[in-house]
Structure 1
Amino acid sequence: MKTKFSGILTLFLAFVVQITFAQQKTISGTVSDQSGLPLPGVNIILKGTTNGTQTDFDGKYSIKSQTGDLLSFSYLGLKTQEVTVGASNTVNITMVEDTESLEEIVVTALGIKRNSKELSYAVSTLKNDEITKTKAVNVATAMVGKVAGLQINTVNNGVNPNTRVVLRGNRSLLGNNEALIVVDGFPSSRGVLDRINPNDIDNVSVLKGANAAALYGSEAANGVVLITTKSGKGKLSVTYNGSFQAEDVAYLPEFQNEFGVGGFPDGTLFPLENVAWGPRFDGRLVDASETLDDGSVWQVPFSPIKDNHKNFFETGNTIRHGVTVKGGDEENSLLMSIDQTNTTGVVPNDTYNRTNFRLKGSKSYNNLSVGGNLSFFRAHTNVVGEGGRQDRPLYWNIINTPLHLPIQELKNWRTGTFTRNEVSYFRFYENPYFIVDTQREKSDFNEFNVLAFADYKITDWLTASINVGYTSTTTSRKREFGAFTYAFHLQNTYSEIDPYGARTADGLANFTRTNSDFLLKFDKDLNEDINIKFTTGHNLRIEDSKEINVSGTDLIIPDFYNVSTRTGELVGDETTTNRRKIGVYGDLTIGYKDYIFLSGTVRNDWSSTLPKDNNSFTYYGGGLSFVASEAIPSLVSNNGLSYLKASVNVTKTGNDPGLYATQGTFTADSNGFPFGSTVGLSQSNRVPSPNLSPEFTTSIEAGLELGFFKNRLTTNITGYISNSTDQIVPVNISLASGASSALINIGEIENQGIELDLNGTILKSNDFKWDVGLNYTLQKSEVISIAEGVDELNIGGFTSAQIIAKVGEPYPQIRTTAYLRDPQGRVVVGADGDPIQDTQNQIQGKTTPDYIVGLNTNIRYKNWSLYAVADYRTGHVFYNNIVDAIEFTGLSKHSATSGRQPFVFPNSSYSDGSGGFIENTNRLTSGGGNAFWDKYNDVKENYVTDATTLKLREVLLSYNFDKTILDQIGVDDLSIGLFGRNLITRRPKENVTTDPEFNFTTGNAVGVGTQSQTAPTRQYGMTINITF
C-alpha cells in the first residue's frame, strides 16, 4: 500500500512540474514612443523578481515569464507601464510622456534627492556613459566641455596628470578656489577625481554656485561636484570593461634649422655648447664630445636632424581591465567591482599602475534601511625626477638638445661606446637619458574609504538618518638622484663639470578624515496644495595628518638609494596637523500646487582654525522656483513650448582660514643647529592673527529653464553675481615686530557670469537619431578692493612674470618685464636700434578665459554610434615659458627670422629729442645673434601669447551587437569601439609650442607655463564592454 502511494505521489509531482514548465514561455515585443519610433534602453523587470532585460536599438526585447506574471516597463521621462502576461507571447508597448518626471530627479546637498523643478539654483548632471565613453582614466578630464560654468585645466601631462577644477571663477585671492568633491555624501579631496574608478560612477551632479552648497559649509563656497556611485539592482549580472590606449606626442615647439651650436662671443662653431648662435649648418663632421678615455672624439655631421627631439619620446600605452558584479531587488542590493590600470608614458621608464576595488550593499527591512560602501585604491607611480644641473628639468634638456646631435645615440650611456656623462655634449647639463635612468621619483599611494548609513522611517513623513564616513590615506615617496661623474682627465677643468654625489630623499605622509551627519527629514503634504520638506542635521568633521621627510647626500653604494649609506649631512623634518569642525544646519522647501517652491537654508559652523573666542560663523540662503508651464497650462503647446521654469536665489557662504593662521608656529632651525646637544627653533615670520574671520561670499543667481517640442529641445540659462569679502591676505609689517607679515581680513572680489546649456534632438527616425548639446560660459572676475593704500597683490609666478590681483582690473592678470613704448604703443629703440626695456613691469592681460564653449554630439544609425566632444576657450593670455627656454638657447624658429643679421625692430620708434617720437624705418638693431637675442630674452612680454584653443576632446565610434544574436550566446550586452582624445588642437600662430592649460602650479597663479612637463599628447585606442 505504501509503495502504491509513493508511485501515485511521484506521478502527481511530475505532472505538476510538467504543467509549470509548460506555463513558462518567452515573451517578446517592441517598445515605441507615441510617434511610433522604437525606444532603445527601456528597462523591463519581472515584478517581484530580479529578472530583467532592456530593449535593443530597435526597441525589441525578449524575457522568460509565465501567464499571470507582471512586467514593468520604465524609461526616463516616460510613464512606467505594467502589463500582465496573458495567452499571447507578444507584448508590444507604446510609452507616453510622464509630465511628473520630465523634471529629472537630481542629487543635491547631503545626498538629498529632489525633483529639479523644486530647485532655485543651477545643477548639471552627467550620466555614467557621458564619463566613460572614451575610457579616460581621470574623471576630471572626462568632464571637460560638458558642463557650463565648469573649467577644468590639465595642469601638466604625464602618466598621472594633475587637474584644476574651478566653478564660476576665482572667489579668493590667496585661498582655495577649487570645487568641493563629494562621493556618496562624503566630502573628499579634489584628488579623488584622479583616483576614483569611472566605471563605478552612476552620475555626477555639479552644484555650480555657493547657492547650491550652503549646507556643506565653508568647503563648498566654490561649488560642489557630487559623485554618486552605482548600486546593485535588477538581476545578477557580470560586466567586463576593457580598453587599450596608445599615446603619442602631439606636437613640439617649432625649431629653426639654419644655425648650429656656438656663438660665444663671435658666432663661431663651438660644438660642446647647447646654445645655437653659431654658424650655418654645412654638413661637415664636427666634434660632439669631450676627448674620451681612449683619446678619440665623437663626431657627427653638422646638419639638422628631422624630428630629433621627438625621437626621444616613446609611444605610451594604457591597458585597463574592469569587472563589476551586481544585483538586487526592492529590499536588497549588492555591487562589487575591481579595476586594474597599467600605464607606460611617452617618457622612457615612466609608469603608473593602479588598482580600484569597491564593495557596496544595502538592506531594507520594514522601516529600517542600512547600507555600506567600502573602497580601496592603490597606485604606484615611477616618473622622472625634477631638476639636475642648475635645476633644469628633463623637458628643458630635451628641447635644448642641439639640432645636429642624434639624441638617441646618447641612450646607452652605461654600456655603449660613449659611456659616462662627457657624451652629454654639454658640460653644464646631463645627458637626457642619464636623467631618466638615474633621477627618479617613486611613490606609493593607498586610500581606504568606508561609508555607512542607516535610515529609519519613524512615520510616513519623518525619517531619521545617520551617515558616517572614514578615509585614510598613506603616501610614501622616494626621490633618487644618481651620481654625476666625468672622466678623470676632465674633472676640475671647468667648475661647471665638477662631479656631484648620489643623494636620496624619503617621505611618508598619513591623512585621516572622519565625517558624520545626523539628519531628521520631514516630508509631508499639509493639504492638497501645500507640501513641506524640512531637513535638519548635525555634522562633525575631524581631519588629522602627519608627514615625515628625511634626506641624505653623497651615498657611497652605487644605485643603492638608502639614507643609511650617506656620508653627507642627514636632513629631516616632521609636520603634524589637526583640524576640527562642527556644524548644524537646516533646509526648508515649501511647495504650493507643485508649481511654486520657496526654499531656505541656514548653517552654523564652529571651526578650530578660527580664534577660540570667535570660532563660530553662520551662512544662509533662500530661493524661489516657479514652474510657469504648470501654473498656466495655456502656455504649453504640442508644437511649441512644453516647459517653462524661472528661479532666483540669494546665498551667503563662508570660507575659513587655513591651518594655524591664528596661532604662532615654530620650525627646527638648521642654521648652526643642533649645537652640541642644543636644538634651535625659529618662530614663523608671520604674526598670528587672533581676530581673523572667514572670507564670505554673497551670491545672487537667476535662472530660466525652457523645453520645446515635447522637450525635444531644452535650454537652461543662468546669470549670477557674487561678491567675496574679507579676503584673507598677508600684509607687510615693521620688521621691528620680529616678523615680516600678518594675515588680516581685507579686500573684495566680484564675479559675474552667464551660463547656457542647450540640448536637443535634431533628427529622429526608426534607424537614425542625432543629438546635439551646447554649453556656453561667460565669466568675469574683478578686484573691487584690497586694502587702504594697497591696490595690488602678488599671487605667484616669477620675478619677471608675476600673476597679480590689481584693484579695478580683471583677476588674475599677468605682469612682466616689458618694452618702453611711446604714446602710440610703439616700442622705443635707442640710438643702437635695440629696443629699450621699461624700468617698470607692465600688465599684459588676464589669464582666465572670457568665455568657454563646449559642444557635444551623438549620432546613432542602427547599431552604430558616433560621439564627439569639443571645446573652445578664448579671451586670455599666458606666459609661454617653453618659447622663453628655446629662445634663450637660439633654437626657436623665431630667433632665425632675420637670418641672424641686424634688422629694423617691428612697430618701433625713437625719440626726436623734443618729447616726440619718430617712426623707425632705418635704425637697425645692434646685431642679429646672441648679443641681441640675449637682451630680447630678458623682456618677458615677448613670451606672453594668446591662450585661445579649440580642442577636439573626445571621439568614439562604437557598435552595439543585436540582442537577437547575443541571446543565442548567453550574453546580455556587447559593444566595441574605437576612441580618441585630444586628437586635434588648434592654437593661434603665435603659440606654436605648448598647451596653454599647462601651468607651473595647481594653485591660483594661473597663466604661467612650465618646463616641468611632458610634451602635449594625443590618445587613441579601442574598447570592449560585455555584460552577462
Structure 2
Amino acid sequence: MKTKFSGILTLFLAFVVQLSLAQEKTISGTVSDENGLPLPGVNVIVKGTSSGTQTDFDGNYSISANTGDVLAYSFVGYTTKEMTVGASNNISFSMEPDVQAIDEVVITALGIKKEEKAIGYASQQLKSEAIADVPTTNVVNSLSGKVAGVNITQSSGDIGSSSRITIRGVSTIYGNSQPLIVVDGIVMDNNTYGNANSGTDIPNGLADINPQDIESVNVLKGGAATALYGMRGTNGVVVITTKAGTKKQALGVEINSTISFSNPYIFPDYQNSYGQGHSTSYFEYVDGFGYDLGANGGDGGTDESWGPALDAGFDFIQYTSFIDNPNNPQAKPWVSNPDSVIKDFYETGITTDNTVSLSGGTDKATYRASFGLTDAKGVIYNTDLKKYNISGSVNYDLSDKWSVGFSARYIKSTSDNRNAVGYGDPDNQIGQLVWGARQVDWGALRDWKNLPLVDTGNGIMTPINWNLRYNNNPFWALDNNLHPWERNRWLGTANIGYQITDNLSINAQTGIDYFNNFSETKRMFGTVDNRNGYYSYVERNRYEVNTQVLLSYNNKFGGNDQFGLSLSGGGNAMVNKYRGYSAVAQQLVIDGLFNISNSSDAPLLGQSHSQSKINSLFGTGELSYNDYLYLNFTARNDWASVLPSGKTSIFYPSVSLSALVHDMLDLNSEALTFLKLRGSWAETGSTGPLGAYDVNPTYALSAFPLNGSSPTAIYPNTLWNQDIKPQRETAMEFGVDARFLSNRLRLDFTYYDKENNDVIMPLEVSAASGYTNVWKNAATITNKGIELVVGADIIKNQGNGLNLGVDINFGKNDNEVSNIEGSGVLNLTNGSLWNVDSQARNGEPIGVLYGPSFERGPNGQILYENGLPVAGDYKILGNSQPDWTGGLGINASFKGFNFRTLFDVKMGGEVYSQTNTWGNLAGVLEETLVGRETGVVGVGVMSDGNGGYVQNNVVVDAQSYYSTAYSQNIAESSVYDASFVKWRELSLSYSLPSKMLQNTGVQSISLGVNVRNLAILYKEAPHIDPETAFGTDVGQQGLEYAQTPSTRTIGVNLNVKF
C-alpha cells in the first residue's frame, strides 16, 4: 500500500511539474516606434517581479513568463505599454510617443536640466526632426515660423546667405541685438563679418553647425530664463544640444544623404514691350553716341528701357550685331526676350548634403562621431559653397563617483566665389536686371570667351556686353572678378564631474570657440569703376575660452518628502581675443596678378587686435513643495573688462514661480490634464555696443600719411566716457500652460513686459571738440508683447496607426524707444539708401524708415505741378518691425509614412525697395507700360492758381513721370507693406517595414522628399520678397537693395541605419 501510495505521489508531482513547465514559456517579439522602426533599449519586465530584459539593436527581445502575466514595456519619450501573456508566444507592437509628457526634461541656462513643469518662464524646444526634415545650409532659417516671439530674416537667396534672429523685439540700438548661441555648453560667435550692402554676404556663425548633428534646440526668451548667462544673455539664448551615443547600445551607423535643387521663385514682373533707349532720343542715341561703329561697337549711351517698341518690325544695329560679325555689324530684329532672365541669367542651384555618423555605448561610456559634407552651387553663375563638418564626443564613467566628457568639432567652410551683393558693388550683376535693357538675350552673353573683345578705355579689352559704359559682361565678371572666402572653425569642450555624495556633485568644464576667416576681392583690368584692377585681402582670427565650475546640491526633506531643494553655484572665466588684418591695392600693375605687392600705389594696410574678459560668480536655487509649487531664483555677478576701471561690476537677479494648479486643487481629469500658472521677474544688463577699448583713450593706426609720415597714429572719432554705465533691463513675465483631453490639446500663453534703461550709444558732439561722437547712456527701450502656442493631436494612433497633429504659434511685440538725448533722433544706416534712413526716434519703434515723401493736398491727395508729382518733406515712411509673427504646422503619420508642412506668417511693418525704385526709373517693370503711347495723368490734385486745388489733368510722357515719382527725392513711392504668408516647408517620407529588413544587417531605411519655400501665398510688396534685408544689423532691416531673389528648394533624402 505504501509503495502504491509513493508511486501515485510521484506521478502527481511529475504532473504538477509538467503543468508548471507548460505554463511558463518564452515570449519573444519586436518593439517598434510609431513609424514601424525598431526601438533598441526598451525595458521589458514581468510586472510584479524583478524579471526583465531590454530590446536589442533591432528592437527584438525574449523573456520567460507565464500565461496571464503582464509585461510592461517602457522607453524614454514613449507611453508605457502593458501587454498580457496569452496563448501566443509572440508579442510585437508599436509604442506610442509621449511627446507632451508632463515630466519632460528641458535644457535651461548653463546646461542645467530641469523638469518642464518646474520652470516659471516661457521656453520653446524643437526636436531634431523639426530642424533636419527640411534641411537648409543655415540652421537659423529652420526656426522660421516655429517659435513664438522669434523673428527670422534672411538676407537674400544666395547660397549660404546670412540670417538674423531676434527674440521678443529689439533691445539695443547699436551693437548686437541677436541672442546668445550656446552649443553643447560652448558659447558660439554668430556674427557674419560680412556686408550685404556692398561686398559679399558671409554666412553667420550658426550656419557652421550640421543640422544632422542637432538633437534639440531650446529657445530661452525672458530675463528669468537667461539671467544666469549674465550680460551676454540679455537678447535671449538659443541652446543647441547635439546628438550623443546611448549607453548599452551596440555600434550603430547612420547615413543621411540629400540632394536638392534651388531656383528663384519671386521675380519682378518685367515689361517686354519696349527696349533700350530714351523715349525722346533713341534714334539719335543709336546713330550718334551709343554704338560707335568705327570703334568698339559696345558703348551704350543709355542703360534704360524707354526706347522703341519691341516685336514691332524694327531692325537695329545692336550688341548682338557685333557678336555675329564684329567687323561688319548688320541690323537685326528688335525683339523681346521675355524668359531670358529666368532661363539664361539664373541657374538651378544644386546642393548635396551627406552625413555619416557612428554612435553607441557600453555600461560606462557613450560615444558618437560624424562626418558631413555639403557641396552647393548657387543660382548665380559660378558661385558656390562647401562645408566639411567633423565632430566627435565621448562621455565615460570612470567610477561610481568620477565621470569625464570630451567633444570636438571642426568645420571648414569655403567658397571659390561668393556672390557680390548690393547695387552699389560693381561685381553685383543683379543690378543689370534691376536697371537695364529689356531686349537683352542673356544667353548670347554667356559664352564670353568666344565673344568679341571691345575697348573699355585706355586700350583695355573685355568681352562685349549689351552695355559697357555702366556694366561689364556679367558672366565674364563672375568668372574673373572673384570673391574667395574661407572659414576654419574649431569648437571643443572638456568636462569632469565628481559625485561627492548622493546629493552633492561638482562639475568643471572648459570650452573654446576659435575661427579664422579669410576673404578676398579680385577685379580684373577693365572692370567698371576699377578699370586698372583691384585687390583686397581681409583676415580675421578670433577665439573665446570659457571655463566654468558648478557645484550642485539636490535633496528632499519633510514628511513624505514634501519639500525639494536644489542649489547650484559656481563661477565662469571668459577670455575673448580678436586679431584682424587687411590690405587693399586700389590699382594693379599687372592684370590678373592678385597680390598686394602688385599694387601700383602705396597699398592701404590695416591691423587691429583686442582682448576682453568677463569674470563671473553665479548661483541658482529651486524650492519645491509637494511637486506642485516651485520657487526658482538666480543671481549672477559679472566683472567686465570693457567697462571703466572700478565700475566693472554688474549684478543680475531673477525670481520665478511655477504653480501646478491641477495638482494643488486636485483637478486632475481626462478633460483637464494639466494646468500651470507661472510668473517671473528679472533684472539683466549688458555693455551693448562697447568694444574692448571704447571707454579708454586709445590710438589707431592710419595708412594715410600726415606731413609725409606714414603710418600715423590717430585718436578714434568717438570720445571715450569713463562715466559710462551698463545697460539695465527689467523684465516681467506671466503665463499659463493648460492641457486638456489627456494632453491631446495644449495651450501656452505668455505676457511679457521689459524695459531697457541707460541704453549705450554714440551721441553727436561738436566737431570743434576734435570728435564726432561721445559714448553715453542716453535712451530707454521698451518691449511688450504676448505669445501663444497651441498644439492639438486631432487623430492619435487609431487602430490603423494614423496620427494627425497641428501646432500653432503667435507672437506680437510692441517696441518703442524714448529718452534719446539731444535731437531725439539717431540714424542707424551707414549712409542713407537713396535718401532713406533707418532711424531710432523718440516715441517710435527702432528702425523706422525715414525719407522724402510726396507733397500732398489738404485731403491727402498727391500734389502735382506741371503734371509731375511734387517732392514733400522728409518724414517717417514706415516701420521695419512686424506687428506680429506666427506659424501653422501640420504633421501626420500613417504606418511608415510621415508628413510635415509649415506655413510662416508675418503681418505689418514696411519695406523700402530699391528694386522698385530703379525698376520704375529705368522703365523695366510692368507698371511702366502705362502711358507709353498716350502719356500719363497722375492721380492727385494740382493748384488751381487761386489757393485751391483741382484734379490733376496734365499729361506728361511716361519716362518723365516715372523718373520723377521714383526719384531719390520721393522715396515714399517705393515703401510697401512687408506682410507675407509663406508656405514655408513640406516633407514626406516613407520608412520600410522592419520585417522587410530582417537578416539584412540594416535597421531602417527611410526615403523622403522635402520642399522649402513652396509658395508665397500673400504679399503686398510688388516684385520682391518683403522678407529680405540687406544685412543682419538693426539698421539694415526693412531695406531691400537688389539682392538675389529668394529661392525655392526641392530635395530628395535617403536615411539608412545599420
**TM-score, normalised to structure 1's length?**
0.90
Equivalent position SS for 1:815? strand
For the Cα contact (< 8 Å) 2:521–2:536, is it kept in 1?
yes
Q: Distance in 1 between matches of 2:284 and 2:55?
A: 77
The offset of 1:555, in angstroms, is: 3.2
| Unmatched tracts of structure 2, length 5 or more | 1-23, 46-50, 191-203, 287-299, 455-460
**1:784 partnered with 2:818:** yes
State the Cα distance separating 1:531 from its structure 2 match: 0.8
1:420-463 superposed Cα distances (whole Å, 9 cap, x missing partner): 54622222221111221111111111011110111111111111
Distance 1:320 1:822, change over 3 A: same
Displacement of 1:692? 0.8
In the alignment, what sits opposite 2:351?
Answer: 318
After TM superposition, list the pairs within 5 Å mapping 1:680-829 onto structure 2: 680-764=712-796, 765-767=798-800, 768-787=802-821, 789-796=822-829, 797-798=832-833, 800-829=835-864
Q: 2-side partners of 1:646 and 1:269: how far apart?
A: 77
Is 1:431 matched up with 2:473? Answer: yes
1:43 CA drift (Å): 5.2
CA distance in 2, matches of 1:444, 1:874: 37
Q: Are residues 848 and 355 of structure 1, via their aligned partners in 2, closer, same or farther at CA, if it must alter by over 3 Å?
A: same
Name the residue aligned to 2:127: 127
Q: In 1, are the aligned partners of 2:869 and 2:964 still within 8 Å (CA)?
A: no
- Structure 1 counterpart of 2:305, from 276, 300, 304: 276
1:563 equivalent to 2:596? Answer yes
Amino acid at match of 1:109: A
Residues 41 and 54 in structure 2, CA contact (< 8 A), matched pair in contact too: no
Kept in 2: contact 1:263–1:269 (CA 8 A): no
Deviations 1:710-743 (A, max 9, x none): 0011111111011111111121212222112101
- Greater mean alpha carbon deviation, residues 43-52 or residues 711-720: 43-52
Instruction: Determine the structure 2 residue equivalent to 1:28.
Output: 29
Question: Match for residue 218 of structure 1?
Answer: 231
**Residue type of the partner of 1:898?**
G
Pairwise CA distance, 1:649:
0.3
Deviation at 1:875, TM superposition (A): 0.9
1:295 is displaced (CA, Å) by 3.4
Aligned with residue 990 of structure 2, among 959, 967, 970: 959
Whole-angstrom CA distance in 2 between matches of 1:560 and 1:388: 26
Which of 255, 258, 270 is 2:273 aligned to? 258
Residue aligned with 1:270, SS: helix
How far is 1:354 from its partner?
A: 0.7
| Superposition pairs of residues 277-426 of structure 1, within 5 angstroms | 277-281=306-310, 282-289=312-319, 295-297=327-329, 299-310=331-342, 311-364=344-397, 365-381=399-415, 382-385=417-420, 391=426, 393-417=428-452, 420-421=461-462, 423-426=464-467
The code of the aligned residue for 1:62 comes to: N
> Does the CA contact (< 8 Å) of 2:913 and 2:1041 recur in 1?
no
Report deviation, 1:24. 13
Compared CA separation, residues 442 and 182, structure 1 to 2 (3 A): same
Aligned residues of 1:398 and 1:432 also touching (Cα < 8 A): no
**Following superposition of structure 1 onto structure 2, how do residues 6-85 of structure 1 map, counting pairs within 5 Å?**
27-28=28-29, 44=42, 52=55, 62-63=60-61, 73-76=73-76
Mapped partners of 1:909, 1:690: distance in 2 = 57
Matches within 5 A, 1:444-523: 444-484=486-526, 500-523=531-554
Q: Which digits, 9 at most, give the CA deviation of each residue in 1:956-1011, with x for residues without a partner?
A: 111011011112422111110011100111343x5232212211221002444344
Deviation at 1:50, TM superposition (A): 11
For residues 368 and 283 of structure 1, do their structure 2 counterparts lie closer, same or farther at Cα, with a shift above 3 Å needed? farther
Q: Is the 8 A contact 1:336 1:359 kept in 2?
A: yes
Deviations 1:358-381 (A, max 9, x none): 110111121111101111100111
Give the drift of 1:72. Answer: 7.8
**Matches of 1:529 and 1:999, distance apart in 2:** 54
Distance 1:539 1:137, change over 3 A: same
1:175–1:728 contact (8 Å) kept in structure 2: no
Aligned counterpart, 1:490: none
Helix, strand or coil for the counterpart of 2:1001? coil
**Is the Cα contact below 8 Å between 1:146 and 1:854 reproduced in 2?**
yes
Partner AA of 1:961 in structure 2: L
Aligned to 1:982: 1013
Distance, in Å, in 1 between the alignment partners of 2:617 and 2:1015 is: 49
Q: Within the alignment, does 1:1002 sit opposite 2:1032 as a pair?
A: yes
Q: 1:328 Cα deviation (Å)?
A: 1.1
Q: Percent identity?
A: 26
Check conservation: 2:448, 2:463, Cα contact below 8 A.
no
Matched, 1:547 2:580: yes
Amino acid paired to 1:538: G
Matched residue type, 2:543: T
- Alignment partner, residue 138 of structure 1: 138
Q: Relative to 1, partners in 2 of residues 1:92 and 1:679: Cα closer, same or farther, differing over 3 Å?
A: closer
Q: Is the 8 A contact 2:452 2:463 kept in 1?
A: no
Distance 1:409 1:876, change over 3 A: same
CA distances 1:56-89 after superposition (whole Å, capped 9, x unpaired): xxxxx53367889999833456565799999974
Matched-pair contact (CA < 8 Å) for 1:881–1:1008 = no
Could you say what secondary structure the match of 1:829 adopts? strand
User: Offset of 1:694 from its aligned partner?
Assistant: 1.1
Number of equivalenced pairs: 977
- 1:923 is displaced (CA, Å) by 2.4
Moved more, 664-673 or 306-315: 664-673
Once the two structures are superposed, what CA deviation does each residue of 1:613-641 show, in whole Å capped at 9, x if it has no partner?
211111111111100011111x2222x11
Q: How far apart are residue 784 of structure 1 and its match?
A: 3.0
Shift of 1:283: 3.5
Greater shift, 423-432 or 243-252, is seen at: 423-432
* Distance (Å, rounded) in 2 between the aligned partners of 1:925 and 1:964: 78
Q: For 2:1003, which of 944, 952, 972 is the aligned residue?
A: 972
Native 8 Å contact 2:606 2:702 kept in 1: no
The reply on whether 1:229 has 2:242 as its aligned counterpart is yes
**SS, match of residue 937 in structure 1:** coil
Aligned partners of 2:73 and 2:81 also within 8 Å: yes
Structure 1 pair 646–530 and aligned structure 2 pair: CA distance change class (3 A): same
Q: SS of 2:996's equivalent?
A: helix
RMSD (Å), alpha carbons: 3.0
- Indicate conservation of the 8 Å contact 2:42/2:75, yes or no: no
1:10 aligned partner: none
- Contact 1:999–1:1007 at 8 Å: present in 2 too? yes
Inter-CA distance 335–805: structure 2 relative to 1 (3 Å threshold): same
- SS at 1:1021's partner residue? strand
- Decide whether the 8 Å contact of 1:812 with 1:847 is kept in 2: yes
Contact 1:469 1:514 in 2 (8 A): yes
CA 1:390–1:751: 2 relative to 1, 3 Å: closer
Deviates more, 1:962-971 or 1:929-938: 929-938
Following the alignment from structure 2 to structure 1, what is the Cα–Cα distance between the partners of residues 424 and 884? 41
Q: Determine if the alignment matches structure 1 residue 156 to structure 2 residue 156.
A: yes
Alpha carbons of structure 1 residues 276 and 94: separation in structure 2 relative to 1, 3 Å = closer
Checking the alignment, whether the CA contact within 8 Å between 2:845 and 2:881 is kept in structure 1 is no
Equivalents in 1 of 2:429, 2:598: separation in Å? 27
Per-residue deviation, residues 852-875 of structure 1 (Å, max 9, x unmatched): 120111121222222101111111
Aligned to 1:13: none
Deviation per CA, 1:192-250: give whole Å up to 9, x if none. 42011111111111101222100001111011100011111122210000010011121
Is the 1:947–1:987 Cα contact (8 Å) retained in structure 2? no
* Partner residue in 1 for 2:169: 169
Is residue 863 of structure 1 aligned with residue 896 of structure 2?
Answer: yes
Residue 7 of structure 1 corresponds to: none
**1:842 & 1:353 partners in 2: Cα distance?**
45
The answer to whether the aligner puts 1:186 opposite 2:164 as a matched pair is no
Q: TM-score, normalised by structure 2?
A: 0.87
Distance 1:987 1:86 in 2: 58
Alignment-mate amino acid for residue 320 of structure 1: D
